[in-house]
Amino acid sequence: MREFVIMTDSCCDLTAQMAQELGVEVVPLSLQMDGEMFHNWLDGREIGFETFYARLRAGAAATTSAVSVGTFQTEMRKVLASGRDLLYIGFSSALSTTYQSAVIAAGDLQGEYPQARIFTVDSLCASLGQGLLIYLCVQEQRKGRSIEEVRDFAEATKGSVCHWFTVDDLNHLKRGGRISSATALFGTMLSIKPVMHVDDAGRLVPVSKARGRRPSLAALVDRMAKTALDPSNGPVFISHGDCEGDALWVANEIMRRFGNRDIHLNFVGPVIGNHSGPGTLALFFLGSER
Specify whether the CB–CB gap between 53 and 31 falls below 8 A.
no
Backbone dihedral angles phi then psi of residue 185, each to the nearest 5 degrees: -65, -55
Three-state secondary-structure class, residue 198: strand
Judging by DSSP bridges, how do beta strands 85-90 and 118-122 pair with one another?
A: parallel
Residue 174 has pLDDT above 70, yes or no: no
The one-letter amino acid at 128? L
Instruction: Could you please state the CATH topology (level 3) that the domain comprising 4-158 is classified under.
Output: Rossmann fold (3.40.50)
Judging by DSSP bridges, how do beta strands 30-33 and 4-9 pair with one another?
A: unpaired
Residue 146 has pLDDT above 80, yes or no: yes
Radius of gyration of the chain (CA): 19
The CATH number of 160-286, from 3.30.1180.10, 3.30.470.10, 3.40.50.12500, 3.40.50.10190, is 3.30.1180.10
Judging by DSSP bridges, how do beta strands 30-33 and 118-122 pair with one another?
A: unpaired
| Band of pLDDT at residue 1, cut at 50, 70 and 90 | confident
| Band of pLDDT at residue 185, cut at 50, 70 and 90 | very low
Specify whether the CB–CB gap between 55 and 275 falls below 8 A.
no
Backbone dihedral angles phi then psi of residue 193, each to the nearest 5 degrees: -115, 125
pLDDT at position 195 is: 85
Rounded Cα gap, residues 53 and 45, in angstroms: 15
Q: 16-65 pLDDT, tens per residue?
A: 999 999 999 999 999 999 999 999 999 999 999 999 999 999 999 899 99
Q: 209-238 pLDDT, tens per residue?
A: 888 899 999 999 999 999 999 999 999 999
Whole-Å CA distances, 234 to 136, 138, 260, 261: 11, 15, 8, 9
Mean pLDDT to the nearest integer, 84-96: 97
Cα 61–Cα 63–Cα 65 angle in degrees, nearest 5: 160
Three-state secondary-structure class, residue 100: helix
Three-state secondary-structure class, residue 184: helix
287 DSSP 8-state letter = B
Residue 180 has pLDDT above 90, yes or no: no
Residue 12 has pLDDT above 80, yes or no: yes
Residue 286 has pLDDT above 90, yes or no: yes
The one-letter amino acid at 270? P
pLDDT at position 170 is: 59
Chain mean position to CA 134? 10
Mean pLDDT to the nearest integer, 147-175: 87
Rounded Cα gap, residues 266 and 13, in angstroms: 7
pLDDT at position 175 is: 56
Mean pLDDT to the nearest integer, 246-271: 98
144, 148, 149, 153: CA torsion to nearest 10 = 130
Residue 188 has pLDDT above 60, yes or no: no
193/127: higher pLDDT: 127
Specify whether the CB–CB gap between 147 and 85 falls below 8 A.
yes
Prediction pTM value: 0.93
For the chain, the domains span 4-158, 160-286
Three-state secondary-structure class, residue 37: strand
